[in-house]
Amino acid sequence: MPDSVQKLAALTARVAELESERALTLRLAQTDSLTGLVNRGAFTAELCERLEAAKQDGGQVALFVIDLDRFKHLNDTLGHHAGDLFLAEVGERLRCDTEPGELVARTGGDEFALITTGADPARRAQRLVRLLAQPHMIYGRMVSPGASVGVAVYPDNAADAGDLQRFADMALYRVKLKGGRRWSAFDAELRDENTRRRTLEAELRRAIPAGEIEPWFQPVIDSRDGRIMGVEVLVRWRHPEQGLLAPAAFVPMAEELGLIGRIDEAVFEAGCARAAPWVKAGLIESVSFNVSPRDLMDPSFSRKLIGRLGKTALPPTALTVEITETFLLQDLALSRRHIERLNAKGVRIALDDFGTGYSNLRALMHLPIQTVKLDRSLICDVAKDQRVAKLVASMLHAARALGVRIVAEGVEEEAQAIFLRAAGCDRMQGYWFARPMPADQMEMALKESRAEPSGRFAAPPRRRARG
Ligand code: C2E
Ligand code: CA
Ligand code: CA
C-alpha cells in the first residue's frame, strides 16, 4: 500500500476515534450518572427547542416538575446509599413509563421533570403521582415517599421556557404546602400571585438604592439592673404607598430573588452608622444584626462582612451576628469557618430562634457560639406551664455551665421577666420592655435610660434593680 494511502487510513481511523470520544463526552455531559436520565442542562436545552418547534407549528408543550415528598426523611433514616437506590428506582420507573415523544430528566437532588407534547396534561400528571406513590423495597423495608407534580402548559400559561419552569414550580410549591402526593396545574390564582410578586420584585429593586430600607432598633435589657445593654437591628421597608412594612412582608421574597444580601448590606451600613456613636458614648455595649441563611452559604461571607465592618465606626467587639440553627446544621464545616473567622476579629455569634428547630445540641455544642437567643415560643409559656418553665430553667443552667450567654426573646409580660431573671437569664428582649423603634427614638430612649435606668426600661418592679 502506498505510504499516502496508509497515512490517510490512519488519519480516518483517528478521526473516527475522536468522534466517538466526543460523542461519549457529550453524552456524559448530558446525562445524570445515578439514573442515566438526561440532566438539567440538556433538559432545558430540549425544552427551548420544543417550544421553538411548537411556535412554528402551533403545537402544545406541557412541562411537569416532579419532586419526591419525603425523600429527605428516607435519606436521614436509611442513609445516603438507600437514598441513591431509591432515586435510581424512580428514574427507572419514569423511563419505563415515558411514551414516544416524551422526555424525562433528573433536574436536581430529588427533582425530576417531564416534557410532553400531545397528552392530556391532567391525566398525565395523575398517572405520574400514582406511579411514584407505589412503595419500593430497600434493605428489606417498604418505603413510599410519594411525589408531587406541578404542571404548566405552553401556550396556555406561558410563552417561554423561563416562565414555563417558574409557573410549573409555583404549582408544585402550592401542592407541597398542602402536604404533597398530589398534582396541581398553574391557574388564575397563581397568575395573580405571580403578578403580585413581579410588582413587589420591581419595587424592592428600586427600594434599596432609593433608601427606603431602614434599620429599626429593639433594646436588649440587662436582667440584673434593667439597663439597655445592646440593640438588635431589625429591617423595615418604608414603602411609598403601603407605608411601613415588617420583614415578613418582603424578606422571604427578597431571599427567593437573591436580593436579601443587598438588603442586609444596606441595613448593616445604616445600622452601624446610627449605632456606632451610641457604643462610643458608652450608651450600649453591643449591636446585633440578622443575617440571612442564604448569605451564609457564600463561602466569602465572613471575609466580606469583616471588610464592610472595617469601613464603619463600630468596633468589632461590639458586633454580634445572629445566625439561625437551620443554616448552621446545613453545612457545619462552612459554619465553623465563618464563625472562627468572625470570632478571630472579636465579633460575637448568637444562635437565633433557639428552641424552634430540631435543636441538635450535640452538633451545636461543638461550634464556638457565644450567645443563644431563646425563642419567643418558649418564653410565652414560662409563666403558665410548669414543664416549659423547667425546660427553660435547665437550658439556662446548661448555658451557664458552657459559658454561653442567654438572651430571652419575646418577653411580653411582667411574670415572664420575673421568672427569667430569677432563673438566671442574663438578657431579655421583648415588647414588655420596648418594641422595635426608629433610630431617633432609640437614641432618645438610650439617653433617658442612662439618666434614669430604673425608669421606662426598669427591670420588673417587684425585684427592683440596683441603680
Ligand atoms: P428575629 O431575628 O427573631 O427578630 C425578632 C422578632 O420578634 C422581630 O420581628 C421583633 O419585632 C419581634 N419581637 C420582639 N419582641 C417581641 C415580643 O415581645 N412579642 C412579639 N410578638 N414579637 C416580638 P420583626 O422585626 O418583624 O422581624 C422578624 C424576622 O425578620 C426576624 O426575626 C429576623 O429573622 C428577620 N429580620 C429582621 N431584620 C432582618 C434583617 O435586617 N436581615 C435579615 N436577613 N432578616 C431580618
Ligand atoms: Ca434575630
Ligand atoms: Ca429570634
Report all structural domains of the chain as residue ranges with CATH numbers, in order of start. 21-190 (3.30.70.270), 199-457 (3.20.20.450)
Q: What is the pLDDT of residue 359?
A: 63
| 323 alpha carbon – ligand 3 mean position (Å) | 9
Q: So what's the pLDDT on residue 1?
A: 62
Of the candidates 248, 223, 260, the one whose C-alpha atom is nearest the C-alpha of residue 411 is 223
Per-residue cell: 190 = 397563581
Torsion angles phi and psi, residue 302, rounded to 5: -65, -40
Question: Cα separation of 451 and 228, whole Å?
Answer: 12
What is the overall mean pLDDT for the chain? 90
Q: 208: CA distance to ligand 3 center in Å?
A: 24
Ligand 1 pocket at CB < 6 A? 218, 234-235, 246-248, 251, 260, 264, 267, 290-292, 322, 352-353, 376, 410-412, 429-431, 436
Which runs of consecutive H residues, i.e. helices, occur in 58-103? 71-78, 80-97
Model pLDDT, residue 248: 95
Which of ligand 1's atoms lies nearest the C-alpha of 247? Answer: 30
Cα 62 to Cα 116, 167, 454: the distances in Å are 5, 11, 67
pLDDT along the chain (467 residues), means of 10: 80 81 74 93 95 95 96 89 95 95 95 92 97 93 92 96 96 94 96 91 93 97 92 97 94 89 96 98 97 89 97 98 84 90 97 78 80 93 92 89 92 94 94 96 91 53 41
Q: Is 211 left (phi over 0), alpha (psi -120 to 50) or beta?
A: left
Question: Can you give the pTM of this predicted structure?
Answer: 0.76
Is 122 strand, coil or helix? helix
Q: How far is CA 283 from CA 124, 187, 287, 301, 322, in A?
A: 65, 55, 11, 29, 21
What is the C-alpha separation between 28 and 163, in angstroms, rounded? 28
Under 8 Å between Cβ of 161 and 105: no
- Rounded to whole angstroms, the Cα distance separating 285 from 278 reads 8
What confidence score (pLDDT) does residue 161 get? 96
Nearest CA to ligand 1 atom 37: 234
Residues making up the chain, counted from first to last: 467
DSSP 229: E
Mutate which of 234, 262, 356 to test ligand 1's pocket (most atoms within 8 Å of Cβ)?
234
Q: Residue 408 has which C-alpha cell?
A: 430571652
Residue identifier of the C-alpha nearest atom 46 of ligand 1:
290
Strand ranges in 253-325 using DSSP code E only, listed in sequence order: 286-290, 319-324
Give every CB contact of residue 382 below 8 A, 6+ residues apart in sequence. 388, 389, 392, 416, 419, 420
Yes or no: say if 369 and 396 are a contact pair by the CB < 8 Å rule.
Answer: no
Task: Give the atom of ligand 1 at the shortest distance from the alpha carbon of 436.
Answer: 11
Please state, in angstroms and rounded to a whole number, the distance separating the CA atoms of residues 66 and 45: 18
> 174-177 long-range CB contacts below 8 Å, 24 or more apart?
174/150, 175/148, 175/149, 175/150, 176/67, 176/69, 176/148
Residue 431 identity (one-letter amino acid): Y
